[in-house]
Chains A and B, each alone.
Chain A
């Protein structure tokens, strides 16, 4: 058991980090919306799915003749990240406008918004399976439930130190995720918009009195969370080169778990939670077998929450100091 972990330690670490990076980026959307609205946006997994479909469709339309590597791969990835950010960010704003804002205006309970979120999630999944994916990728309608592919990445090893081998796509996933995290952290900490988000998270009523436009802040929060999911989607499309209508389901649960593990409402917590969860899953799989991946992950979550109910970093968005 333990010797398996020792044997596979370095590959498991690399894979855990590249898996965790995507969890972390998606977790940001959960954590930001929760911080501002106290709402678990269960449709966020579909926001991610929309990003993957947009990114994959872009690759298909451009028509990559030979697999890309090096600078052209990075360039393509940047393009996909922009496409993903626009698609996912836009979808998130639209989702807020249609599914949550009317409820908020009428003072509905948070439970109503939660049901609305679940409804929106199922609606988007089926809409994509039955209409969008078949139309975009010219599969039969039944084919909308199948994974769609576009193969465009040439995989090469960029770092090789003994057992420690890092492939280009895995490296790009981790680097890309960390860059986005740092950028977001700076936006929230330093800009006027970030101040508004923090103020709203801390005390919405007082924020209004201080002249903060809550609706604008909520829209911006959804847009930023969605954009982060869009970047995650571009990275996902590079790493796995496929998507399906329900691609967000398992990943969404894991990202939400990462957000809770790191401390929900806490941006840096999402980063920590994502990487910790990714590593635990890979180490757990190496030790006990891949079928134990989810069991190990959730056992660790329960243990952490028993001793630190607010998650690893605990401190939430509203108390964040700059």
Chain B
């Protein structure tokens, strides 16, 4: 361990203006060295259910790479921000100054990304988020920031299109919890629906609150409601779904990627989550419908973690793969890795790993999933997926 960290110090020495301790000099070449990658996200907080799968995916990619006995090994360090921006910024400082990571997979959520990404940009440390989808993240001119999946603009438009086309909705109630991600997604859904001539009513819930009855009353007061869309995370949607169904609201409920987790039916209780449709820029494809690579990935993932791949598992794997490819090509400093990422073009599990100059992925489709019982099944691409059974 001690030897590895000395090596690391010298490896990063050229980049570290603060002047880290001068470790033993090594010729590089023959001796194996280690670089550190970080993973940051809500690994132990309220919405950890959608961050642990990408963390597992990233772990798997790194383990597979290390198993090939490369000259430069990778150590993956996890930073549990609990999804809270203030904790995330402190951890980012620790990652940069103490651990001296060369790249970060994450942060997982958009709110924390807004706080952490400027710090990474200044360091500079390249990052690839497996799950942060807020639109504005891509509009800051950040040079070191990337994400592996389509943003909320694409996602919101995809889900709204599905609501208007497949559900033939005329009146929709949109709810969100005012968080960075939730509000952004809900606003795109509202705008897209309005542009398609759909009547939209809105309300906002408090994610810390327990009693959503005022929102339930508002939904009930709308005549001929065709659908309810919720922008936010599954912990709150579970609570809201339970209270909506108990309040006698039978309307179809839809949501975005923040709610795509098997904890949703658990939180909603009974059969309250049945029939909920959740969209996601992620492709969870354990049977390999879209590509055989997905099935191979799913099988290996299942063998390793004893659970099926879930939301962003493959995206986590692909995010880590981007860094691994860079390191494979002999890049071990943040600067060089970032240069490599700007030109990367590698086939990943979910899509071709390729970034535009603004860090956004080159392509991206939105998929919709249907909840039934304790789990969910894919309905297909939001562009042409059929309406769910009534």
Contacts and interface: CB of A to CB of B under 8 A. Distances in A.
Contacts of A67: 270
B208 A290 contact: no
Name A's interface SS.
helix
Contacts of B211: 15, 19, 240
Contacts of B221: 4, 7-8
A12 interface: yes
A290 B82 contact: no
Interface stretch (A36-44, A53-61, A94-102, A246-254): A246-254
Given A146-B235, A289-B203, A291-B204, A15 B213 contact: yes
A15 B178 contact: no
A289 B204 contact: yes
Contacts of B269: 149, 151, 241
A137 interface: no
Contact of B214 (A12, A142, A149): A12
Contacts of A244: 46
Contacts of A286: 214, 217-218
B230 to A, nearest CB: 13
Q: How large is the interface on A (under 10, 10 to 19, 20 to 34, 35 or more residues)?
A: 35 or more
A11 B219 CA distance: 12
A282 B214 CA distance: 6
A290 B206 contact: yes
A147 B267 contact: yes
A151 B246 CA distance: 12
A298 interface: no
B44 interface: yes
Q: Taking each of A19, A247, A249, A290, which has the highest tally of chain B beta carbons within 10 Å of its own beta carbon?
A: A290
B206 A15 contact: no
Contacts of B246: 155, 167
Contacts of A195: none
B214 A285 contact: yes
Contacts of A7: 221
Interface residues of B, number: 34
B210 A240 contact: yes
A291 B214 contact: no
A250 B267 contact: no
Contact of A145 (B44, B204, B212): B44
A242 interface: yes
Interface in B267-297: 267, 269-270
Contact of A11 (B210, B217, B238, B239): B217
Contact of B266 (A149, A155, A290): A149
Nearest to B49: A146
A246 B210 CA distance: 11
Nearest to B220: A11
A215 to B, nearest CB: 36
Nearest to A11: B217
Contact of A290 (B210, B215, B239, B270): B215
A286 B211 CA distance: 14
Contacts of A289: 202-204
Contact of A294 (B206, B218, B239): B206
A116 interface: no
Contacts of A11: 213, 217, 220
A294 B178 CA distance: 14
A271 to B, nearest CB: 19
A2 to B, nearest CB: 14
Contacts of A145: 44-46, 48, 82
A241 B268 CA distance: 10
A290 B214 contact: yes
B217 A251 contact: no
Contacts of B263: 146
Q: Taking each of A147, A241, A244, which has the highest tally of chain B beta carbons within 10 Å of its own beta carbon?
A: A147
B205 interface: yes
A293 interface: yes
B15 to A, nearest CB: 34
B209 interface: yes
B62 interface: no
A22 to B, nearest CB: 9
Contacts of B82: 145
A167 B202 CA distance: 25
Given A149-B266, A241-B269, A291-B178, A8 B210 contact: no
A142 B46 CA distance: 9
Interface in A1-44: 4, 7-8, 11-12, 15, 19
B43 interface: yes
A242 B213 CA distance: 16
Contact of A151 (B46, B217, B270): B270
Interface in B229-251: 235, 238-239, 242, 246
Contacts of B213: 11, 15, 19, 282
Nearest to A8: B217
A72 to B, nearest CB: 18
Nearest to B246: A155
Given A145-B82, A149-B266, A251-B210, A290 B218 contact: yes
Contacts of A147: 46, 235, 238-239, 267
Interface in A261-294: 281-282, 285-286, 289-291, 293-294
A149 B208 contact: no
Contacts of A250: 206, 208-210
B267 A149 contact: yes
Nearest to A236: B210
A296 to B, nearest CB: 11
B235 to A, nearest CB: 6
Contact of B210 (A12, A149, A155, A247): A247
Question: 5 closest A-B pairs (Cβ-Cβ)?
Answer: A285-B214, A291-B204, A142-B44, A15-B213, A151-B269
Given A240-B239, A291-B178, 6 more contacts: A142-B44, A146-B263, A250-B209, A282-B213, A282-B214, A290-B212
12 contacts: A11-B217, A12-B217, A240-B210, A240-B211, A241-B242, A250-B206, A282-B213, A285-B215, A289-B202, A290-B205, A291-B204, A293-B209
